[in-house]
Amino acid sequence: MVVTTKSTIVVNAAFLREIKDSNPEFYETIDRLRHVCETDDSPARLCRNLTRLLDQLREQLALQFSLEECYGYMVVPSHADGFLGEMAVEVHAHHGMLYMHLSDLAEQAEELQYRGVEPRQLRVLVESACEFEFRLREHERAENELIERSFRLF
């Protein structure tokens, strides 16, 4: 006889808030990405800055998500499920997708930098980086909302 228990993911609001509050450099890098996306720098300089920034953000995002997944989310039996459980599962699922998207952008930037900056490809990359920055901010907003709702329950 095999007994299985359905589980879900919930947020550990206090730890998740602490992780977010203890890493201002991560949020400063996101702000710098927005600034680089909006700059009028020469294509070569823009590509260099974007490549460096995307690589830096990839390292920071890996650390941030790793900490959040270890301490900010918990797997619990599904009887604790509900709206917040569903929201936590959805928001948690963003981590892998966002990291893979950022890794792809960083690799594209490195390739563009080393092969030679082609203005049209750079423009597409900048637009993709701006879209990523928006999606990452939306993810952070959703996690903050999840934290706030969790605190209101207790």
Cβ neighbour number for residue 66 with a 10 Å cutoff: 13
Say yes or no to pLDDT of 1 above 60: no
DSSP structure string for 13-64: HHHHHHHHHT-HHHHHHHHHHHHHHT----HHHHHHHHHHHHHHHHHHHHHH
Residue 5: band (very low, low, confident or very high) from pLDDT cuts 50, 70, 90: low
Q: Rounded to an integer, what distance in angstroms lies between the CA atom of residue 135 and that of residue 91?
A: 12
Q: Under a CB-based contact definition with an 8 Å cutoff, are residues 143 and 16 in contact? A: yes
Q: pLDDT tens digits, residue range 86-104?
A: 889 999 999 999 999 999 9
State the amino acid at position 8 in one-letter form. T
Domain range for 131 = 7-153
Q: Rounded to an integer, what distance in angstroms lies between the CA atom of residue 132 and that of residue 103?
A: 11
Say yes or no to pLDDT of 58 above 70: yes
Average pLDDT, the chain: 91
Residue 127 lies in a domain: yes
pTM, 2 dp: 0.89
User: Span 69-77, mean pLDDT?
Assistant: 89
Residue 1 lies in a domain: no
State the total domains in the chain. Answer: 1
> Could you tell me the CATH number of the domain that includes residue 57?
1.20.120
Residue 41 lies in a domain: yes
User: Span 64-82, mean pLDDT?
Assistant: 83
Residue 143 lies in a domain: yes
Q: Rounded to an integer, what distance in angstroms lies between the CA atom of residue 11 and that of residue 106?
A: 29
Tell me what pLDDT residue 81 has: 47
